[in-house]
Amino acid sequence: MAGIDLLFLSMMAGHTEQTLQIARLVHDRLADPDLRTLIAAIEVTEADELATARGWLAQAGRSARADEHAGHGTGPDQLARLRDAPAGEVDRVLVEVLATHQKGAADLARAHLAAGTDERVRDLARRIEQSRTAQVAMLAAHPAAA
């Protein structure tokens, strides 16, 4: 794998860790059953993707911990909004925060499809681009969307 592929995996691992963090903050507090279902499916699929990315990074001798967490998509302020959202507001805040977060993942994946070299990583990027784009559309269509 080339450096550009490892950088993408490292960034995406950090981004995915944040998705799981977002999910953990809300999955017991969401009111809408469709949102609960979506979050549960995102949690299990992204946990697998994270394991895949970490495995490839480890094979390359690079730490599985993403080194570029600092700026990833969703800042501490957004996580705090989720954590502090009162019961009636959790769905609305989640839809907003997660849509922005997953759009960031789709954008990163799209950029990697234009620049990446490793076919396995490009295939992962393709699936990330598709699934996150579809999720953003689902969130935008949700009644809790602003």
Partner 1 sequence: MRRRITLPLVATGAMVATLAVAAPAQAHGYVSSPPSRQALCAQNRVPDCGQIRWEPQSVEGPKGLRTCHANISHFAVLNDDNRGWPATSVGTTVTFTWVNTAMHATRDWEYYIGNTRVAVFSGGGRQPGPTVSHSVNLSGYSGRQKLLAVWNIADTANAFYSCVDLQIGGGGNPPPSPSPTTPPAPSPTPTVAPTSNPPAGGTWTAGRAYAVGDQVTYGGRTYRCRQAHTAIAGWEPPNVPALWSLV
Place of tokens 């995996």: 9
Nearer to partner 1, 39 or 85 (CB): 39
Answer yes or no whether residue 69 interacts with partner 1 by CB under 8 A.
Answer: yes
Are 74 and 97 spatial neighbours (Cβ–Cβ below 8 Å)?
Answer: yes
Q: Which of 50, 128, 139, 144 binds partner 1 (CB under 8 A)?
A: 128
Measured CA to CA, the distance from residue 129 to residue 8 in angstroms comes to 13
Q: Which residues contact 103 (CB under 8 A, 6 or more apart)?
A: 132, 136
Q: Is 72 helix (H, G, I), strand (E, B) or coil?
A: coil
Answer yes or no whether residue 2 interacts with partner 1 by CB under 8 A.
Answer: yes
Place of tokens 């992962």: 124
DSSP one-letter code for 74: S
Minimum distance from residue 87 beta carbon to partner 1 (Å): 23
Minimum distance from residue 86 beta carbon to partner 1 (Å): 27
Write the single-letter amino acid at 129. E
Contacts to partner 1 from residues 5-44, by CB under 8 A: 6-7, 11, 15, 34, 37-38, 40-41, 44
User: Which residues contact partner 1 by CB under 8 A?
Assistant: 2-4, 6-7, 11, 15, 34, 37-38, 40-41, 44-45, 47-48, 58, 60-63, 65, 67-73, 75, 103-104, 107-115, 117, 123, 126-135, 138
